Amino acid sequence: MSRILRNRAGNLRLELRDDRLSAWLTISGEKRLTDEQDILDLIEEAGIRTGFEEAARYMRKHGLEKDFDVAFPIAMSRRVKGESKLNYFFDLNEAKDFSGKVDASELEKLTCIEAGTVVADYGSNIFERQGSIYDIYGEMLQDEDFDLGSAKQVAGENVVFQPEKRQFIAESRGFISVDESGRISVLERLVLEQLPREAGAEIKCPADLEILSSVRGLKLRVAGDLIVRGDFAESALQCLGSLRLEGDIVDCREPGLNVAGKLECRGIRSSRVLCGGGLSFAELISDSEVVAGGGIFSEKGSIHGGHSECGGSLDVFNLGKPQGGETLVELSIGPYHKALLMQMTKELVRLREAGDSGQELSARIKAREEDLDAELNRFLNRPQGEKYFLKARGTAYPPLEARVLKYEYSIREPKQGLEIWEKD
């Protein structure tokens, strides 16, 4: 329906057509002067911004005159006629049929986009339009022939279409792919089928990564989650997401693995592993230094030797080496943050001894200290019934040194079904 506005005196009637393309003014034929300011105030109240010249041209073309008690156009726009064009804000040739499977040497050449990025839109050349660019309220007019249903079909995986702006928005971080039907998707994960052969080679990935083989003798930095379809041996890893490993972590000591999220693997042997979330394994952790911000769990697996520390409960099948050799296990508050703080503090001392102020590292240390404080507050505000526990559902073999928060326990004889709960 049209919207009708009147002035206070009641002698002006402004009709705003619901197509947003015209406004018609009627001046009452009362024997009194019409105040021009009243007309301007009514136009301002209506929010009309453009179309005044178009209305004047319309009146001249049709021989209309302004008269009392006759509606005449005060503002007009003509609906745009033309064809919308799909504009890509990425290299279409690179994106066509991109499957996410790449060679390690191609990683640095790929463009990773952030969530919220406008990857494409529908628009037309405003200079070629046969009609007005804006409606009478100053908002951009769209062409008549635009097919909203077809436009929505262009949005693929992790891409959303916003009709009001005719834009395609990335919903996640990743890499653009356009399939044979023209659908635009964002791939969150890259896949490496082949790895560099030279020892010590470095691989950097700005998003999730899947490796279809074992990793040996490499340095990896992954800004998302990592999946490895094999072992991870004699290598280093910095992972900002979670790690899922189908094989074992083997001989990764310096600097080892630092995984910000959770970690799943078959086993860990002779390695140093830090993870910010929980750690679950299938078979064996042996002679390793393991720190998990969450709990450590294995339904059938064992921990033999080394030092394992977690910020939750430890629940495995066997604890300790059946053939002898000390095993240390510990349940504490914020062990992941504490381990990283120790690393960073040592590095800061080294930098300052070399004459570097280490300002950036100092800021990172402060942020990590805040994370540790938050973890402590979370622990102190736990539900009353939530308690840490240490459990070996099979056998605990001596010598086993266990610590559950501030209490220490020494196991000197084999024990079936060991279970130690946090004390108040």
Residues 161 and 305 in one domain: no
Query: Which of 98-102, 137-141, 232-236, 289-293 bottoms out in mean pLDDT, i.e. has the lowest?
Result: 137-141
Count of CB atoms situated within 10 Å of the CB of 263: 27
| 156: in domain | yes
Residues 38 and 95 in one domain: no
Residue 69 and residue 231: Cα distance in Å, rounded? 87
Any residues with CB less than 8 A from the CB of 361 and at least 6 apart, and which? 344, 347, 348, 351
Query: pLDDT tens across 296-353, in order?
Result: 999 999 999 999 999 999 999 999 999 989 999 999 999 999 999 999 999 999 988 8
* Tally of helices (H runs) and strands (E runs) in the chain: 6, 36
Any residues with CB less than 8 A from the CB of 187 and at least 6 apart, and which? 98, 99, 100, 157, 158, 174, 175, 176, 177
> In this predicted structure, what is the pLDDT of residue 65?
84
Out of 76, 107, 130, a domain closes at 76
Helices marked H in 86-181 = 92-95, 148-154
| 172: in domain | yes
Considering its fold, how many domains does the chain have in total? 3
Out of 140, 157, 187, a domain closes at 187
Residues 316 and 410 in one domain: yes
Residues 312 and 174 in one domain: no
- For helices 335-353 and 359-380, give the axis angle rounded to 10 degrees: 160
Residues 70 and 89 in one domain: no
Residues 38 and 169 in one domain: no
| 24: in domain | yes
Residue 111 and residue 31: Cα distance in Å, rounded? 72
| 255: in domain | no
Count of CB atoms situated within 10 Å of the CB of 343: 15
Out of 153, 187, 221, a domain closes at 187
The pLDDT-based confidence of 128 (bands split at 50, 70, 90) is very low
The pLDDT-based confidence of 83 (bands split at 50, 70, 90) is low
pTM greater than 0.95: no
Residues 94 and 65 in one domain: no
Residues 66 and 128 in one domain: no
Query: Which of 185-199, 271-285, 403-417 bottoms out in mean pLDDT, i.e. has the lowest?
Result: 185-199
In angstroms, what CA-CA distances link 128 with 51, 83, 84, 99, 143?
19, 10, 11, 37, 12
Query: Which of 5-9, 218-222, 284-288, 361-365 bottoms out in mean pLDDT, i.e. has the lowest?
Result: 5-9
| 310: in domain | yes
Residue 56 and residue 306: Cα distance in Å, rounded? 88
Residues 46 and 115 in one domain: no
Most confident of 62-66, 121-125, 128-132, 224-228: 224-228
| 242: in domain | no
| 224: in domain | no
Domain range for 423 is 276-424
> In this predicted structure, what is the pLDDT of residue 68?
85
> In this predicted structure, what is the pLDDT of residue 202?
94
The pLDDT-based confidence of 221 (bands split at 50, 70, 90) is very high
Residue 27: alpha-carbon gap to chain centroid: 58
- The mean per-residue pLDDT over the stretch 93-97 comes to 91
Residues 296 and 386 in one domain: yes
3-state secondary structure of 146: coil
| 232: in domain | no
Does position 275 have pLDDT exceeding 90, yes or no?
yes
3-state secondary structure of 39: helix
Question: Which residue has 């800061």 as its token pair?
Answer: 348
Nearest CA-CA partner of 220 in 251, 256, 270, 168:
256
